[in-house]
Amino acid sequence: CITDPEKVRQAEFFGRRRLAVFFCLRRNNLFSSVEGLLKMNQNRNLRNELNTFSLPLVGKNIVQLIVEFWLAVVSGHISANAIAVIGTVDGLLYSLIGILGSGTVSYMIYAPRVEDKHSPAARTLFKSLLLLNLGLGVLFVSLGLLFSGAILKGIYRFDGELLELGNRYMRISSWHILLTLCVFSLSNQLKVVKKTGAVFRAGVFSSGVQLALTWLLAVQLLTGNERILGIACAGLTSEAILCLYYGWLLRDELAALRSIKGERWLFLLKKSGILFLQELLEGSVFQVLLTAALVRLGGLIFAAYQVCRTLTEIFLAPMFMYCSGLLVLIGEKIGKQELD
């Protein structure tokens, strides 16, 4: 028992300090637990939001890939030349669209950062994207129409009947460049405003139209190798319908763009420079060279490659669509300054 008053005061002081430290630690642990629960809840909400955003896009992409697989089956029943022409021209155009569509990726990075999606800043970005893609689309459609024969003969060594058929197919399919870039602009605006359900419904409807027209033109009406021209016309028509439907969904937004200057197209183009280069080197150049080499090996080998490639794209579809969702959601978090 302590009887010295000075020692009693010292004991009381150290006791109070230990008690304060104890309560401070308990409070910190409590706060840490609360913060942990809040972060878990935020992560759960983010996962749910990402799934809600991305699953319709995954469904749409898978439907389109199944349609492409069915079209490959139809072309396989036409001739080996049909497989070579469709695979070569479509591969070239898709590679070109991948390069030109890099501006859309820049839009997906910067547009979600604008909190008010109907503000002049957001609409300026949207109109700038439209102008950029329209300009690129018109330019490269013109090049495709003018130099289709030279491209197929010079790069892929097409000649004779194969060159004539490929030239006619490419003159029709080149319009896909312009229409697809317009679809990119409109569909990504729908993604920014989180209307991916509408994107899914539109994609399924246009795929159904493409299947019906392909059956009518390529199976019922046309004969011989001319049937691949029916496949090209069916794809072009369904793409135009898709573009018109997206335009109708965004009719109010498009009408509001009349008074907006699309002056940030150069900003999007500059920001897309490294993406253009990456797509050019990693995807497009390699794809063109590989296709050219496979075409020279024979139609059967190239057809097998096309089937395997389509199956691979089906399995990779969820990854690409979830990456698109992450671009939008992360951009929103950056705009709201909610990221750690």
Question: Tens digits of per-residue pLDDT, 118-152?
Answer: 788 888 888 988 998 999 999 999 999 999 989 88
Q: How far is CA 235 from CA 220, 273, 275, 284, 288, in A?
A: 16, 30, 27, 22, 22
Residue 4 host element (H or E): none
Give the C-alpha separation, 252 to 30, whole Å.
50
End-to-end Cα spacing for the chain = 54
User: Is residue 9 very low, low, confident or very high in pLDDT (cuts 50, 70, 90)?
Assistant: very low
For 30-60, the pLDDT digits (tens) are 444 434 433 555 556 666 777 777 777 777 7
Burial of residue 333, with CB atoms counted within 10 A of its CB: 0-12 exposed, 13-18 middle, 19 or more buried: middle
CB proximity list for 112: less than 8 A, separation 6 or greater:
192, 327, 328, 329, 330, 331, 332, 334, 335
Mean pLDDT of 197-219: 88
